[in-house]
Amino acid sequence: MGQFQALKMGFLEQFVHNGRALLGHRSKAILLSGAACFGAVLLVQRVNSRREQKKRILEAQRRREKSFQVAERALLEYKQSHPMTNALYILSLSLSELTKQLQESALSPEEVFYTYLEKTLDVHQKLNCCTEIILDSFEQLKTIGSCKRGILYGVPLSLKENLLLKNHDSSCGVVKYLNQPADDDCVLVKVLKEQGAIPFVRTNFPQALLNYDCSNPIYGQTLNPHNLQKTAGGSSGGEAALIGAGGSVIGIGTDIGGSARIPASFCAICGFKPTAGRLSSKGCKSIFRGQKTVLSTPGPMARDVDSLALFMKAEICEQMVFLDPTTPLLPFDEGLYQSRNSLRIGYFDCIEQTPTSPSMTRGVQEVKALLEQAGHTLVPFTPVRILDMAELMSKGALADGGATFLQQLEGSPVDPVLHAQVAMYRLPICLRKVLAFILKPFWPSGARLLRSSAGVGSAAGVWKLHASIEDCVNDTIAQWRRLNLDVVLCPIIGPAFNFCYCGKLMSMVPHSMTYNLLNFCAGVVPVSTVTEEDERNLCHLDKGGWFNRVLKKAITGGVGLPVAVQCVALPWHDELCLRFMKEVEELVKKARKDEELK
Ligand SMILES: CCCCCCCC/C=C\CCCCCCCC(=O)NCCS(=O)(=O)O
C-alpha cells in the first residue's frame, strides 16, 4: 500500500509537472503566435497604408498631368486660329501697363491669357513650379469678355496651392489632405474674380508649409530660375519661381515666417507681407489652424512694387469686408503710397548670433548709401531684444513642441527638406530641455533652438508667452518713436540655398519671422546680385560657429544670384511700407542705369 501510494504520488507529481510544462509551452506558443499575428497585422496594415499613400500620390500626380495636357491642347487649338504675335510684348508689360491695355481693349483677355499659359507651361517644364492648371479658368475666360469690370479685368493670376479653390484639393503636401476638395473659394480669390482677374495656375510649396525650401512628396522640388542647382525658396517658392521666370504677372503667397519674402529674395522678385488682418485669411489653409501667436497672412508677389500695390488696391474693397467682416474698413491710402517726402529710416545689416551672408550685409549697405544720396535720413538701429524674440517666435509656432506638425505628417512620406526639423520635433520634450542645458555653454545658438522648440507646456505658459511678445512689440515701437523713425531697412535671407539646407538653417528665420511675431508689415525688393567678392567673403563664415559653416555650404557657388533687402513699417502702415519699397526699387534702377552709362 505504502509502495503503491508512493508510486501513485510520483505518478501524480509527474503528471502535474508534465501538465504544467505542457501548459507553459502552450501558453508560450500561444503568446508567440499571438505576437506574430499582431506583427503580421501591423506589417500588412503598414504595407497597405504605404500602398494607399502611393496610390493617392499617383492619382494627384496624374490629375496634375491631365490638367497640363488639357491646357496644352486648348493652347494649341487657340494658336491654330490666333497666331500669337504679341507674346513678347505682352510678357514685357508690368501689371499696371497690362491692366491699362486690357481696359482700353488694346489687348484682349484671350491673347493675354494664352500668352501667359504658354509661358507658364514652358517655365514649369524647367522649374517644376506648378501643381495644376486651373481648368475652370477656360470657362471664366469665355464669360469675361462680355463684362468689362474690375481693377484687374482680364489679368491671369497664379495662386499658391494652400489657397482654397472650390472643387480643388489644397494638399499642403500632406497625403491625408488629398481627395478633400474645397466647398468654396477663399475670400481673396472671390474678390479677385469680382475684380476681373482669372486665376489660372496653382503653385508649389514645401511639405506642410513650415519650411523655406520648396519640395514635397506629391509634386517634387521647385528649382530656382537663376540657377537650377538652387532652391526657389519657400514656402511660396512655386510662385516666386513662376513669377521670376516670367510665367505670371501677379500671384498670391502666404507668410508666417517669411514665406512670401524669402522666395522673393531667392528669385529676384518683390514679395509683400501685409499687416496680418489687412487682407482676409479666410480660406488660406494652414497646417496648424488655431495657432494664433505668430500670425500668418496672405501677401502678393510680383516683378515690381507697383504690382503689389495694385493687388492690395484690388483686394481692399467693400466686398472683402463684406465676405470677411474680421478685416478692417480701411481703404487703400493711394496718397500715402504716392507720397515722395523724405523719410527717416532706421537700418541694420546683421542680427546678433544669427547667420547673415556677405551679400545680405552688402545689399543693405548699398541701399543705405543710395537712400542717403536721395536725401533720406538713415539712422543706425539695433533691434531690441532680438534673441528673446527669436525664442518667442519658435515657442509660439511650436507651442506644442511640434506635435501637431508631426500629426499632420502621419500617413505621408516625409520629404527630405523636412528631415532636420522632423528629427528635432521627434525628440521627447524633456530630452530637448536636457540637451539644451548641456549644450548651452558650448553651442548657445543650438541650445536656444532646441529649448525654444520644446513649446510652452501649459495654458499659463501661453499667457506668459503672449505677455512677453506684447512687451517686445511695445519696446520695439518705443524704440522707433525714440528715434523718430518712419521705416526700417534690414537684410532678408539670401542668396538662394542649395537643396535641403533651409531646414538646417531655421536659426536664420528671425531675419523675416520677427515681423510676423511683431505683426509689422514688411516687403522685399531685389537690389543686386552676388559678386565674386561676396563669394570670397564667405570665408568669414568659417569663424562664426556651426550654423555659419552650414550657411557657407548652403550658399557657396552663388555668384550672379539675386540679392534683396527688406523694408519694414509699423502695423497697419502697409501703404508706407510699399512706398518705401517703391523708393528703393526706383533708386536701384536709376543707379543701374547710371552705372551702364559710365
Ligand atoms: C532661437 C532661434 C530660434 C529661431 C527661430 C526658429 C523658429 C522656428 C519655428 C518654426 C518654424 C517656422 C519656419 C518658418 C519658415 C517660413 C515658412 C512660412 O512662412 N510658411 C508659411 C506658412 S502659412 O501658414 O501658409 O503662412
The question of ipTM being above 0.95 is answered as yes
Percent of the chain predicted with pLDDT > 70: 96
What are the cell numbers at 544?
A: 562664426
pLDDT at 145: 72
Cβ atoms of residues 250 and 300 within 8 Å: yes
Which of helix, strand or coil describes residue 197?
Answer: coil
Distance from the alpha carbon of residue 254 to the mean position of ligand 1, in angstroms: 12
Q: What angle do CA 190, 194, 196 make, to 5 degrees?
A: 120
Query: How many angstroms separate the CA atoms of 57 and 51, rounded?
Result: 10
| Residue 475: strand, helix, or coil | helix
Mean pLDDT for the stretch of residues 4-10 = 51
Asked if the model's pLDDT at residue 429 lies above 90, the reply is yes
For ligand 1, atom 12: residue with the closest CA: 210
The answer to the question of whether 171 is labelled as a binding residue is no
8 A C-beta contact, residue 235 and residue 209: yes
Residue-wise pLDDT tens digits, 136-185: 999 999 998 766 789 999 999 999 999 999 999 999 999 999 999 999 99
- Dist CA 555 CA 376 (whole Å): 33
**269 in a labelled binding site:** no
With contact defined as beta carbons under 8 Å apart, do 356 and 511 qualify?
A: yes
For residue 292, indicate whether it is catalytic. no
Query: pLDDT higher for 346 or 83?
Result: 346
Name the β-bridge partners of 521: 569
Nearest residue to 159 (alpha-carbon basis) of 119, 130, 135, 136: 130
Strand partners, 299: 253
- SS3 of 286-354: CCCCCCCCCCCEEEEEECCHHHHHHHHHHHCCHHHHHHCCCCCCCCCCHHHHHCCCCCEEEECCCECCE
For residue 557, the 8-state DSSP code is T
pLDDT at 11 over 60: no
Listed residue (336, 329, 317) closest to 151, CA to CA? 317
Evaluate: CB of 140 within 6 angstroms of ligand 1. Answer: no
pLDDT band at 10 (very low <50, low <70, confident <90, very high): low
* Cβ of 401 below 6 Å from ligand 1: no
Q: Given phi > 0 = left and psi -120 to 50 = alpha, else beta, which region is 268?
A: left
Query: pLDDT tens digits for 191-229?
Result: 999 999 999 999 999 999 999 999 999 999 999 999 999
Q: Give the H or E element holding residue 567.
A: strand 562-569
Q: Is 515 in the pocket of ligand 1 (CB under 6 A)?
A: no
- Burial class from Cβ neighbours inside 10 Å (0-12, 13-18, 19+) for residue 411 reads middle
Does 235 participate in catalysis according to the annotation? yes
Q: From the centroid of its chain, how far is CA 218?
A: 17
Bridge-based pairing of strands 270-273 and 521-529 is antiparallel
Residue 455 labeled ligand binder: no
pTM of the complete model: 0.92
pLDDT of residue 27: 80
* Angle at 422 (CA atoms; ends 420, 426), nearest 5 degrees: 120
Closest ligand 1 atom to 506 CA = 6
CA 468 from chain centre, in angstroms, equals: 26
CA of 512 to the centre of ligand 1 (A): 9
Residue 10 β-bridge partners: none
* Residue 345 to residues 44, 117, 180, 379, 483, Cα–Cα distance (Å): 63, 41, 47, 6, 9
Q: Other C-beta atoms within 10 Å of 85: how many?
A: 8
Q: How far apart are the first and last CA of the chain?
A: 128
92 Cβ contact list (under 8 Å, min separation 6): none
CA–CA distances in Å: residue 382 to residues 351, 352, 480, 547: 8, 9, 10, 22
pLDDT, one tens digit per residue, over 361-389 is: 999 999 999 999 999 999 999 999 999 99
Grid coordinates 506558443 are at which residue?
Answer: 29
The residue count of the chain comes to 598
pLDDT digits (tens, 9 = 90+) for 27-55: 888 888 888 888 888 788 778 888 889 99
Which ligand 1 atom lies nearest to the CA of residue 256?
Answer: 19
Atom of ligand 1 nearest to the CA of 507: 4
Residue 281 falls in the annotated catalytic set:
no
**Banded model confidence at residue 336, pLDDT cuts 50, 70, 90:** very high
Helices 358-373 + 574-597 axis angle, to 10: 90
State the pLDDT at residue 5. 54
